[in-house]
Amino acid sequence: MSVISALLFLKSSTPPDERHPYGHYGYNALLALITSLIIIASSSIIATLTVSRISSPHVVRGEVVYYALTSTILLSLTTILLFNASSPLGGLALKAEFGHLTVNSLESLIALIGVAPFS
C-alpha cells in the first residue's frame, strides 16, 4: 500500500496541464478513499478473527517472536522514511498513510510485548 500511496502522491503533485487546468489533486482524494477502505476491511477481518480465537490460547514458537520483531523494526523504519518524505512535500494522503503506519507500528510493538513472555 505504501508504494501505491507514493505513486499516487507523485501523480497528484504533477503541475496543471491543458487537460487538467486545476492540477491532478483528485489522485490525492482517491488515495485517501482507497486507504480508508483497506483499513476498514482489515480492521473488520482482524476483529472477527480475534473474537473467534480469544477463547482458545495458542502456544507461540520462538521463531515467531523473531519474525515479529523483524517485522516491527521494518515497519517502524518505513514509517520514519514516509514521515521524512511527506513533511517537505505536504499532501493529506501521505500524512494519512504516515498515521496509519504509526498505528501499525504501535500495534506490532504491543503484540510483540504480549506474545514474547509465552514463547
Instruction: Give the residue from 38, 28, 47 showing the smallest Cα distance to 94.
Output: 28
pLDDT in tens, 9-49: 777 777 788 887 777 777 778 888 888 888 899 889 988 88
pLDDT in tens, 73-101: 888 888 787 777 766 666 677 777 777 78
Confidence of residue 1 (pLDDT cuts 50, 70, 90): low
- What's the confidence (pLDDT) of residue 118? 62
- pTM of the entire predicted model: 0.47
Instruction: Give the residue from 54, 61, 70, 51 showing the smallest Cα distance to 108.
Output: 70
Instruction: Give the residue from 94, 70, 66, 92 showing the smallest Cα distance to 2.
Output: 94
User: 89-98 b/e with 16+ CB inside 10 Å = b?
Assistant: eebebbbbbb
- What's the confidence (pLDDT) of residue 74? 85
**What are the cell numbers at 44?**
473488520
